[in-house]
Chains A and B, each alone.
Chain A
Amino acid sequence: DAMVIQNPRYQVTQFGKPVTLSCSQTLNHNVMYWYQQKSSQAPKLLFHYYDKDFNNEADTPDNFQSRRPNTSFCFLDIRSPGLGDAAMYLCATSRERTSGETQYFGPGTRLLVL
């Protein structure tokens, strides 16, 4: 019954080694989001896809990129992870990109950078 699925749940990578996190959804929603959440902090939006249209937040580092090959899947690529990128990465979806649409979050992937 899981609606937003994230894999893996835990990811360990080395400093500077590229890593990819994945998200899939069974809701057939148009919008998919990626958030970064550091310990004891609020989720911070990195970017979102509205269908195939990519929307980057102004303060998202270039080190973070995303791909959405189809409606169901979205990937977060971290090209050269630094120690400061260790965090929980949350994927969320919403039916439409209008205020008032509920965002459904996945369980998150916790990234550790060694």
Chain B
Amino acid sequence: GENVEQHPSTLSVQEGDSAVIKCTYSDSASNYFPWYKQELGKGPQLIIDIRSNVGEKKDQRIAVTLNKTAKHFSLHITETQPEDSAVYFCAASISFQKLVFGTGTRLLVSP
């Protein structure tokens, strides 16, 4: 089955810096790649997603890139703010909406 690896597990940055989180997936049939942000004690919230027919997508300070050949995708957050501190999960979807999640990245943005 599909397997998603996510790195790093922890990322500390200073406010205003950029943060990059990377994921690789194993099944080339995967065609949908969402990113979720989970704050302490809350459910995951979708922040951005990308489909396999697109290489890059941006939404204000957040961008996602997809390299289908290498089977990896990345989340980029620019001008980080303390409220960006959370756990971020990547995921890949192969069929019938079953999401396979990465192991998560704890992002800490220090003022």
Contacts and interface: CB of A to CB of B under 8 A. Distances in A.
A94 B103 contact: no
Contact of B103 (A6, A41, A92): A41
A45 B98 contact: yes
B61 interface: no
Main SS class of interface, B: loop
Contacts of A102: 34, 46, 49
A82 interface: no
A45 B96 contact: no
A107 B99 CA distance: 18
Contacts, number: 60
B88 to A, nearest CB: 11
B101 A98 contact: no
Place the interface of chain B in its size category. 20 to 34
Contact of A100 (B43, B44, B93, B98): B93
B95 interface: yes
A70 interface: no
A41 B104 contact: yes
B43 A99 contact: no
Interface string A79-114: 000000000001010101111111111111010000
- List 4 tightest A-B contacts by C-beta distance, closest first: A105-B43, A42-B101, A100-B32, A99-B93
Interface of B: 31-32, 34, 36, 41-46, 49, 51, 89, 93-99, 101-104
Interface of A: 4, 6, 31, 40-45, 48, 90, 92, 94, 96-108, 110
